[in-house]
Structure 1
Amino acid sequence: MVAIYTLNISDLNLDQSFSAIIHPSRLETASRFKFAGDKARCIGAGILLSIAVYESALKISLPPEEGQLPHGKPYLLEAPGFHYNISHSRDWVVCAVSDKPVGIDIEHSDRDAGLVAGRYFSHEENEYIASLPSSEHYGAIMELWVLRESYLKATGQGLAFSLKDIAVRFDPGPYIVQCGKKTDYSMALCRMPDERYKLGLAVCKGPEPLTYVFRQVCGRTLMVLRDS
């Protein structure tokens, strides 16, 4: 079971102190952003991570401190085996937590995705898009985009290979191939409460089918974390 924590940053008051629940290194990063929205998304990511760690009962200090693997994938310095991934777009920040390597990607539906398919998608993905009615092209591009991104983030490979070497297929649900071979990752398109967003999820396969649950964070959750 993958837990997907969600937070709408419009609920955040940036004038309040977050030092009790967000590591100083992330707060320092947030302070360098020029725009309030970027700062809020950085802080929101830290909030979700702290809540996920708190609910996991990991025996580490809060707030958690992060490091980065060679291609940029974050991990917890005190618990490298804790599998999580964070994404954000516009008003929403999401954090996926699993007992296996996991990746998540969220995108707002008004992203300019027109050039993405031709530049980054595989030949077979572009053929799949072309086979659909024109009214469905944009939605298909967005779905392929978030699924591809979630896989790249789950593996931590970054841009270590050509993006056209991977392809999402449907049979009937989504799965991904890399260099023509089926990968060991399960995938899902997750329906956000806010339907303007697309959300892709990828997790290393286990013996059970991929399942997930949403956990929306609100002010009451933050109060519990602060008081712990």
Structure 2
Amino acid sequence: MRNMKTSKLSISFSDVKSAESIPDKKFFLDSNDIIIYTIYLPNFTDLKSDLSKYLSDKEIKKSQRYYKESDTNRFITYRAILKFILAAYSKLRIKDIYFDYNFNKKPYLISHPWLHFNVSHSEDFAAIAISRKKVGLDIEYMSNDFKFTTLLPDVFEDKEALQIQNSSDIKHAFYTSWTRKEAFVKALGKGIDEDFKNLPSLDGQYNIDSTLLQNTQNWQVYSFDFAENYLGAVAFEDIPAISKNISLYTIPNNMDELLEMLPKKD
């Protein structure tokens, strides 16, 4: 009988709490860097026409398929800013940025497949994580109206569901576990499937059957306070013994500063 291959997984909270301005050492990634850019979407409404100029015809058509204008505006904002960020790190002109998609429709940059990124959005915020390692990001608005208790048996193991139900802050406990699972599956490129329930979400160190993950890499998952009433989680490929530099920066909401991110004039 062959030995089962396992992957190591570490899950915990991170002390990353507040966003800062983009640093002077602009747009350079060390191997241990995880950079998360935050976008407060209402601040970008007036930039819709400017940002839409940086989208392809296909992206514009996709934005027009949304039923609500607010959803159209959100897509234009975070898609254009994603291209600004990728241009900054790849040193490409925006018009030379082309995406392809893996088997699970996760996008990647054709010219720079080593430049990993992931996008998440919820209510008034969007966020973009970028790294040299495979990365997944999830942010969630912790709604008082969402009746999540009925979901517990379907998406959590018994131990996880019990810990959520016994928590002094059930809502925070639910969103902590949910965002961790969501960030992890996004990093894996799996999507939410029948394995979602089997992925750990509580603090600790785990050995997981590699067939469940569909790869043999090791992983870390960190929760962090994203904004008031928002919780985030980021998952990335690496052994638990290696510490990552996780930084949270705010995207400026004016075109002059956004254009300064570009390596050359578009």
State the TM bucket, normalised to the shorter chain. 0.7 to 0.9
Matched residue, 2:11: none
Q: For 1:10 and 1:36, locate their aligned partners in 2 and report how far apart those are by CA, in whole Å.
A: 13
Partner secondary structure for residue 84 of structure 1? strand
- Does structure 2 conserve the Cα–Cα contact (< 8 Å) formed by 1:168 and 1:176? no
1:34-183 pair list within 5 angstroms? 34-56=67-89, 58-63=90-95, 64-110=97-143, 112=146, 113-133=148-168, 136-171=169-204, 178=208
Q: How many residues align?
A: 221
- Does structure 2 conserve the Cα–Cα contact (< 8 Å) formed by 1:2 and 1:211? yes
- Does structure 1 conserve the Cα–Cα contact (< 8 Å) formed by 2:51 and 2:77? no
Matched residue, 1:224: 260
Over aligned residue pairs, what C-alpha RMSD do you find? 2.6
Q: For 1:143 and 1:176, locate their aligned partners in 2 and report how far apart those are by CA, in whole Å.
A: 17
TM-score under structure 1 length normalisation: 0.85
Shift of 1:20: 4.2
Matched residue, 1:213: 247
Q: For 1:145 and 1:44, locate their aligned partners in 2 and report how far apart those are by CA, in whole Å.
A: 25
Partner secondary structure for residue 49 of structure 2? coil
Matched residue, 2:219: 185
- Does structure 1 conserve the Cα–Cα contact (< 8 Å) formed by 2:122 and 2:139? yes
Equivalent pairs: percent with the same residue? 20
Shift of 1:39: 1.1
1:8-27 pair list within 5 angstroms? 8-12=40-44, 13=46, 15-27=48-60
Shift of 1:169: 2.4
Q: Which has the higher contact order (CA 8 A, sep 6+)?
A: 2
Matched residue, 2:13: none
Shift of 1:176: 6.1
Q: For 1:102 and 1:188, locate their aligned partners in 2 and report how far apart those are by CA, in whole Å.
A: 11
- Does structure 2 conserve the Cα–Cα contact (< 8 Å) formed by 1:187 and 1:210? no
Q: For 2:177 and 2:200, locate their aligned partners in 1 and report how far apart those are by CA, in whole Å.
A: 9
Which deviates the most, 154-163 or 18-27?
18-27
- Does structure 2 conserve the Cα–Cα contact (< 8 Å) formed by 1:185 and 1:202? yes
Deviations 1:53-100 (A, max 9, x none): 1321x1544142322211121212222222000000011110000110
Task: Could you tell me which runs of 5 or more consecutive residues in structure 1 were left unpaired when the two chains were aligned.
Answer: none
Partner secondary structure for residue 191 of structure 1? strand
Larger radius of gyration: 2
Instruction: Report the residue type matching 1:202 in the other structure.
Output: A
Shift of 1:179: 5.3
Which deviates the most, 2-11 or 216-225?
216-225
Partner secondary structure for residue 147 of structure 1? helix
Partner secondary structure for residue 222 of structure 2? strand
Partner secondary structure for residue 81 of structure 2? helix
TM-score under structure 2 length normalisation: 0.74
Shift of 1:162: 2.4
Q: For 2:249 and 2:84, locate their aligned partners in 1 and report how far apart those are by CA, in whole Å.
A: 10
- Does structure 1 conserve the Cα–Cα contact (< 8 Å) formed by 2:48 and 2:77? no
